[in-house]
Structure 1
């Protein structure tokens, strides 16, 4: 794995306002096969406690599972939760979470007022699709398991055809759960994704690209990792994701916007939160002065 050699943002001073967006599973949460560096999560917590720094968790999990992960792993409370692969945006208010209805209304038009259960009926009978459990579905997120040996391009074309026949605009996001050895397919409204949800939050809160950093590890993070936003891939990311992300940012002429953690920073291995810290050091090292 290699990272960009362009250090345009290296050692840049931290802006007065900064937005850190991070995926959870196998990015901030050390729930993959790779080892976690001791003390990395506590250093992450100290970094994000700075008053100038706002924190958003960007996850495929629904709200209750995000809250559960915060408790189980002792994570800092975020200011926002972008859940359900970006199809739900929540804001913290007086220790409670409120759904931002402007985002929900914005993406709802893509499905002509239908919800995920309606799309499941439209797609019923397609070979290779197996619905994920009910607690992984949401109003604007329809999730399937997909066998790793399925003809994925053919399946995606078949899905597109059925949806197009009903003028339903969708965003199909495929990723792989390496631990379970199964493919994951999330079907969202076309204007819903982790990237679009982050951009919505940035516009709403007035953050620029240079005041924002994203951290991720998997296929459903690629829309952000290969965008114009500064981003970091943690060192434990699957090699296929790293290869795809690096190829895309080179193709679109923005390799300086993606950093791939490789370990060694502060003696840590670059996995999970250690990788997020390493990426922050690359783009905005001033943010880490709080660590001493």
Structure 2
């Protein structure tokens, strides 16, 4: 039985309906109702910056979270006195992985890889180096090249790639080894004293895969691409956590399985005691 819940969810194409599929009109209002339950603590886990998170909350009428894990896990924000503030203990922890190397030093080491197109300045931070890669490029070869160069530099990194569906381009985020969404959730879990069974994560894309394949109860919304579904299942099987992965479906649920409807569907599966508090017809 789950009496409290740390609900950690990605934003774009998970609770934000900005993919190709349609959203049930009652899904987001029901999601807001769920997040208003006192036992539920909401965390946004996203590739967006804080400014873009705020913009999405306003534009899509999303509930205000209690914590924000932004920039693909490299920053954790806590709201204090109505102001979002970085958790410095997290920043200090992940800084160790880059072994004193700076963002500029990592970028310089990769400058001659012609397939990498540096993302805009507002999509970078001290511990997030981000590029665009054409969908036609040899991604496997490029990632191997990046990894080799940064290893020679002495930086311990995670390479997280995902598809920007609307723009049809691959996004590559180079992060400290222990600064992924999964690591950030586990850090916050420890700080707040939640058990793993008291957490539910929801996502849809490549930068969610580490969580989707972990022991953290996770929901893959129905609108996720087929290759992400295949990779999530494969990773969960490989790690021995198949029981922790729920694939939302469009059928057999009143609101369907896309976006927030998929989150609600999976939450009812993992935490029926919490789900019971919202009466979905």
Instruction: Tell me if both proteins adopt one fold, taking TM over 0.5 as the criterion.
Output: yes
1:208-223 to structure 2, matched below 5 A, reads: 208-223=195-210
**C-alpha contact (below 8 Å) 2:26/2:255 kept by paired residues:** no
Instruction: Give the secondary structure class of the aligned counterpart of 1:109.
Output: helix
**C-alpha contact (below 8 Å) 1:265/1:278 kept by paired residues:** no
Q: Which residue of 1 aligns with 2:116?
A: 129
**C-alpha contact (below 8 Å) 1:46/1:290 kept by paired residues:** no
Structure 1 segments unaligned to the other structure (5+ residues)? 1-12
* C-alpha distance in structure 2 between counterparts of 1:115 and 1:236, whole Å: 37
Q: Which residue of 1 aligns with 2:27?
A: 40
**Of 213, 237, 240, which aligns to 1:250?**
237
Give 1:58 shift. Answer: 0.2
* C-alpha distance in structure 2 between counterparts of 1:19 and 1:189, whole Å: 25
CA-to-aligned-CA distance 1:32-59 (integer Å, 9 cap, x gap): 1100011110101111111111110000
Give 1:265 shift. Answer: 5.1
Q: Which residue of 1 aligns with 2:2?
A: 14
Distance 1:147 1:178, change over 3 A: same
Question: Is 1:84 aligned to 2:71, yes or no?
Answer: yes
Q: Which residue of 1 aligns with 2:193?
A: 206
Q: Which residue of 2 aligns with 1:27?
A: 14
**C-alpha contact (below 8 Å) 1:171/1:193 kept by paired residues:** yes
* C-alpha distance in structure 1 between counterparts of 2:271 and 2:156, whole Å: 38
Instruction: Give the secondary structure class of the aligned counterpart of 1:183.
Output: strand
1:265-276 to structure 2, matched below 5 A, reads: 266-276=253-263
CA-to-aligned-CA distance 1:130-173 (integer Å, 9 cap, x gap): 00111111110011000112111211121112111121111000
Question: Is 1:194 aligned to 2:208, yes or no?
Answer: no
Question: Is 1:156 aligned to 2:143, yes or no?
Answer: yes
Structure 2 segments unaligned to the other structure (5+ residues)? none
Distance 1:265 1:82, change over 3 A: farther
Higher relative contact order (CA 8 A, sep 6+): 1
CA-to-aligned-CA distance 1:64-84 (integer Å, 9 cap, x gap): 111111111111110100000
Give 1:253 shift. Answer: 2.2
Q: Which residue of 1 aligns with 2:221?
A: 234
Give 1:116 shift. Answer: 2.2
TM-score between both structures, scaled by the size of structure 2: 0.96
**C-alpha contact (below 8 Å) 1:228/1:254 kept by paired residues:** yes
Give 1:242 shift. Answer: 0.2
Instruction: Give the secondary structure class of the aligned counterpart of 1:267.
Output: coil
Q: Which residue of 1 aligns with 2:50?
A: 63
